[in-house]
Amino acid sequence: MMRYRLTIIFSLAISLLAFASVVEAEFKRNYALAKKSFEDGDYQKAVEKFKDAINDNPESAARVKLYGMRYDSYLPHYFLGEAYFQLNDCESAMAAWNQAMQIGVVQGQNEFGSMQANMATCKVDVVEAVDVSRIAAQATSEIEALEGAARSFAGLQSERLLQPEWASNWQPKLSQGRELAQNLRQRLGTATTDADPDAIEAIINEAKRGVSSLSDSENLARAQVQALESQNAEAQRLAREEARRGLQDAMRRARAAQKYDGGNARMESLLADLQRQIGVGDNLGATASALNLKEQTQIIDNVLRRYNLSIQDWQAEQQSIADRKPPEGLKRIAEAYFSGDYEAVASQANPDSFDKERAKIQALLFRAAANHKLYVRSGEQQSSTLRQVQSDIRAIKQINSRFSPYIAAFSPRFLALFQQTG
Task: Write out pLDDT tens, residues 135-170.
Answer: 989 999 999 999 999 999 999 989 888 888 899 889
Amino acid 172: pLDDT: 93
Q: Is 102 exposed, middle or buried (0-12, 13-18, 19+ CB in 10 A)?
A: exposed
Contact between 345 and 333 under an 8 Å Cβ cutoff? The reply is yes
* Among the listed residues 60, 71, 134, the one whose alpha carbon sits nearest the alpha carbon of residue 100: 60
Residues in the chain: 422
Amino acid 124: pLDDT: 64
Contact between 118 and 90 under an 8 Å Cβ cutoff? The reply is no
In the predicted model, residues of the chain with pLDDT beneath 70 are 1-24, 67-69, 124-130, 262-263, 321-325
Q: Is the pTM of this model over 0.75?
A: no
Amino acid 106: pLDDT: 84
* Among the listed residues 384, 406, 383, the one whose alpha carbon sits nearest the alpha carbon of residue 337: 406
> Which residues are within 8 A (CB) of 136 and not within 5 positions of it... i.e. 6 or more apart?
188, 191, 192, 200
Is the torsion defined by CA of 187, 193, 199, 204 positive or negative? positive
- How far, CA to CA in Å, does 367 sit from each of 293, 359, 371? 66, 12, 6
Over its C-alpha atoms, the chain yields an Rg (Å, rounded) of 57
3-state secondary structure of 356: coil
Q: How many CB atoms lie within 10 A of CB 155?
A: 9
